[in-house]
Amino acid sequence: MLRRLTPVLFTLLVVVLGVTALAARPAGEAPRRTADFVVLAGVAGLRWDDVDPQTTPTLWRMAQEGSIGSLSVRSGHRPTCPVDGWLTLGAGNFAAGNGSRGAGSCQSVRVAVEQPDGIGANLPNQASVVQHNQQRLPWGAVPGSLSESVRCSVAVGPGAAVAAARPFGRVDRYAARLPDDPAPLLGSCVLSIVDLGTVAGEDPAARAAQARQADADLARVLAARPPRSLVLVAGISDTGLPSRLHVAVADGPGWERGWLTSPTTGREGYLQLVDLAPTALAALGRPMPDRLFLGRPAVAVGDRPADLPSALAAPADADRESAAQRHVASWFFALLAGAQVLLAVAVLPLLRRARRHAGPGGPAPVPRRVVATVELLLIAAALAVPAALLADVVPWWRGDHAGWWFATVTALLVIGGTAAVRFAPGRDSTLGPLGAVAGLSTLVVAADVLTGARLQLNGVVGYSALEGGRFSGLGTVGLGVFIAGALLCAGWLAQRVRRQWRPMVVVAVGGIAVVVVGSPFLGADPIGAIALTAGVSVAAAISTGGWLTVSRLVWATMAGLALTIGFAVIDLRREATERGSLGRFLAAVGDGTGGLTVNRSSSANFETMVNSPLTVLALAGALLVWFALLQPWGGLMRLFGIYPAMRAAMAGIAVGAVIGGLLGGSALDVAGAAGALVVPMAALAALRVLDHSTDRTQPGDGGPANGRPAAARAPDRPADAGRADAEAGDRDGASGEAGDGPSGEAVDGPVGDGGDRTPRVPGQAARVSTAVVPG
């Protein structure tokens, strides 16, 4: 009884530790009131490479004294055109204009502004814009939420009027252009929004002239700023494709010489456009409409370099990397999907001819060199994504031909990783390459997460700051690779211990992985941690063999629910600004706005499924597994029968990857990333287990000292190949696990019979046939 309860108790212990780790959050201070006035100055298109001491001396001095960061200008439209950027600023949420525009372009839009009384203004189209954002877009943005949160606001310029207009279209104070003496206007309300113009195009001279004019207007604003005021300067939008990161500078009491960040990014030096509205309200000490704002107040953190050119090198380099990442990522994943599909097609005839025949008949085996070459290609394909992640150690994006530099670095890393697996101990065993590839992949992702996820941010297989979805922790592709690698490692290790200890090995390895994924200090992905917990629970439940019975399913479900409920309860008890994604969703369900979150997630899942090349990887991998590897001639069922822990690991990967993708709004991307690692390794292991299907053993014929039979050498195989696996197979057979049936299929034998169902031939009772288990 105690032995049966041990895995359950151990799982519950890991769940408790997981909840504790996920509940811990980095210490942070709630934003305090720091100003009596806030001035938001926007320059559409302004980037950090436009800022220098000669062209923009005012902004240069302001950046030297204040806090700086890279601004992601995601809005309800891509690219974020100036009107979309100003609307998003005023909404504190992803918003967009309702005017017609070309796909991927930013046409000049004239804002209709009426001034009936000479004091304020009115935007006659504001009602239709609000209706468009409420009914046609999934974020529930209400343009004008920022101005509705203060008693009085000022707008200077048409773009500022778009941001400052209340939902019914009224602008409290308005000036079409900056007055000669703007002090009385800026001091008339606690919030002022100023349109400093646009910096557009790619011609350096034209951009410099536009930036110089914006800087001159900024100098007049700073000269007229009210006492005890916070001035925020932001590159409020893109002006066309490709999207870029933009300038963000904060200057005022409490904002000296730091990096700007916010809870929505969780990374020093980065904030989002939706964060500016709550930042202004927090600085003024005003309550904010949490149900309407997606952004969170920004703060100044860390000690940036005292030398401003050195400090600006970081955001400028991030802008170059993020600009290069999108183009390179699109062709990398397209090539990876194509290569893996072609490799899957090439594996099919090898699977058909891999099973050796005991008699003199049968097709000739595939030449050993061909099989060895395909195995190396399978290893290389499985290592492609971890190698692409590791390639970001080298600054490939700084060269003139960024794509070629990335391809060269990635190819060298793939070759090095393949060579390491090829010459690793146990390379000739069935599970040797699988364990080595899984270990390398898990190590690469875990090392990156443990060191701040530097390779994830703006990496080709990471996430882009331009997308505005994630800025820290573990990304979608990294989550898929880590789930696959961690569970394959758990299955590989579990297969090497006695059957009764296998659930505990899976739970121990999986529990560590859950903490890495879900801890706010590390992976910062609670949805991923919940999905991985479900996968670990399923894997642990069937790691000893057999099927997913009702009792095992209940155990797995209870473990996943325990972690989910525990983390949800703790997350809900936090302040609204400190909650994670799970806590915010449950709070939205409680106040009746949960439908917006479900709508966003559904839209994101559909868009990702249609547009992502990882969907092709996921579907191609599923087709190969279902129509080839799981067929009687495919070898995977035989592999699962001989190695029940590997079957458990792959089942857990499927569960965790699908749940993580659907709940995280990334559809099949997590499954595609996991499949890029798992499917090639499953094909390689299936090839090898079929190649060993007719190995013969004889009692007393060179067997180990304990009397167990040792593997006889098969044709064209090394003399020692399969020796360790024969011992593993004997160990499983003695425990009543998988053996080899008369047709070569893996079967479950009764306790004590070793799974040996081969018919005895009269006169040869001493000769038996068992599966040789390569390990």
For 477-486, how does the pLDDT look when each residue is reduced to its tens digit (9 = 90+)? 999 999 999 9
Higher per-residue confidence, 620 vs 132 = 132
Task: Provide CB contacts within 8 A for 51, sequence distance 6+.
Answer: 59, 60, 63, 211, 247, 312
Report how far Cα 55 is from the mean position of its chain's Cα atoms.
39
- Helix (H) / strand (E) element for 251: namely strand 246-251
Each residue of 212-245: pLDDT tens digit? 999 999 999 999 999 999 999 999 999 988 889 9
Residue carrying structure tokens 């700086």: 68
User: In this model, does residue 769 exceed pLDDT 50?
Assistant: no
Share of the chain above pLDDT 70, in %: 74
Q: What is the rounded distance in angstroms from the CA atom of residue 158 to the CA atom of residue 171?
A: 11
User: In this model, does residue 575 exceed pLDDT 70?
Assistant: no
Residue 83: predicted pLDDT: 93
Share of the chain above pLDDT 90, in %: 41
User: In this model, does residue 174 exceed pLDDT 50?
Assistant: yes
Q: Are 580 and 571 in contact (CB under 8 A)?
A: yes
Q: Give backbone dihedrals phi and psi of 97, rounded to 5 degrees, phi first.
A: -75, 165
Q: Are 202 and 11 in contact (CB under 8 A)?
A: no
The HSE-up count of residue 55 (CA atoms within 13 Å, CB side) is: 18
- Helix (H) / strand (E) element for 67: namely strand 67-72
Q: Are 635 and 689 in contact (CB under 8 A)?
A: yes
Residue carrying structure tokens 């010459």: 423
Pairing of strands 299-301, 746-748: unpaired
Each residue of 577-588: pLDDT tens digit? 555 666 666 655
Query: 241-244: long-range contacts at Cβ-Cβ below 8 A with a sequence spacing of 24 or more?
Result: 241/79, 241/104, 241/105, 242/79, 242/323, 242/326, 242/327, 243/73, 243/78, 243/79, 243/80, 243/326, 243/466, 244/47, 244/319, 244/322, 244/323, 244/466
Average pLDDT over residues 258-287: 92
Residue 196, classified by CB atoms within 10 Å of its CB into exposed (0-12), middle (13-18) or buried (19+), is buried
Residue 755: predicted pLDDT: 34
What distance separates the 2 farthest-apart alpha carbons in the chain?
112
Each residue of 610-666: pLDDT tens digit? 667 788 888 888 888 888 778 877 788 888 888 999 999 999 999 899 888 888 777
Q: Are 680 and 339 in contact (CB under 8 A)?
A: no
Higher per-residue confidence, 273 vs 577 = 273
Each residue of 495-551: pLDDT tens digit? 999 888 888 888 889 888 988 998 878 888 888 888 888 888 888 888 888 776 777
Q: Are 75 and 94 in contact (CB under 8 A)?
A: yes
